[in-house]
Structure 1
Amino acid sequence: QLLTTDHGFDTATEIIELGIEKDFKDCMYTTKNVFQKLRKQFPEQAQYVVNFAYNYPYFMHFNLREATHLIELRTVPQGHPDYRKVAQQMYVAMSKRHPTLSKIMKYVDLNQYELERFESEKRTEEKRRKA
């Protein structure tokens, strides 16, 4: 399936806090307009215009071991907020459908964090300076 602008985009809280929401949305709408023009005649090439802030649908097929690995890995505080949210939703859905099986997932973090990756990077930099 080709990348498109059909599924919209989310505006990160940080974009709003930095005061660049208008610039961000202008960029997103410009991207969509250019994409729509190119798509009519060049659908495959048009996907190169779509920036990574747009939402992309995807399907995943995996077994319980793979699901456990993915969900535990992607719900850590340092994970990207978008990946964390999806992985957390996957865990909640699995817990409802297969409560017994989902109990093997021991390291799923359902808490919400802001800029945790930034804090992790700061700690790493402090360690590097001390060394």
Structure 2
Amino acid sequence: MTNGDAFDPNCPTRLVLDRIGDKWSVLVVLSLRHGPKRFTELRDMIGGVTPKVLTQTLRAMAADGLLTREVFAEVPPRVEYTLTPLGRSLQEPIQAITDWAEQYVTEVMAARETRQGQER
């Protein structure tokens, strides 16, 4: 397979960008960076995500090869999610973007408020 061209509207690269640019996927990668987590642990770490949306995100990430879902034969069953090597390869770029967002959040929010004030 050849490298993609994200500017081509028919390129599957856009599907990958949609996945890794989704806020919930980003937060799942950050949450799993130190090892496997159970669903409830992820839900508790990622404030504001509904169980339905988290389930959809985890399924999509598993389908994309970014994480694995392991079911343990216990009562009640225990399920853990772990980043795959492909998923772990996202940690550095996602951490860099997160660091940038945390560093510049004040400036971005101030610009947003200024813009909203001008539109009134």
TM category, shorter: under 0.3
Bigger CA radius of gyration = 1
TM-score when normalising by structure 1:
0.25
TM-score when normalising by structure 2:
0.26
Is the strand fraction higher in 1 or 2?
Answer: 2
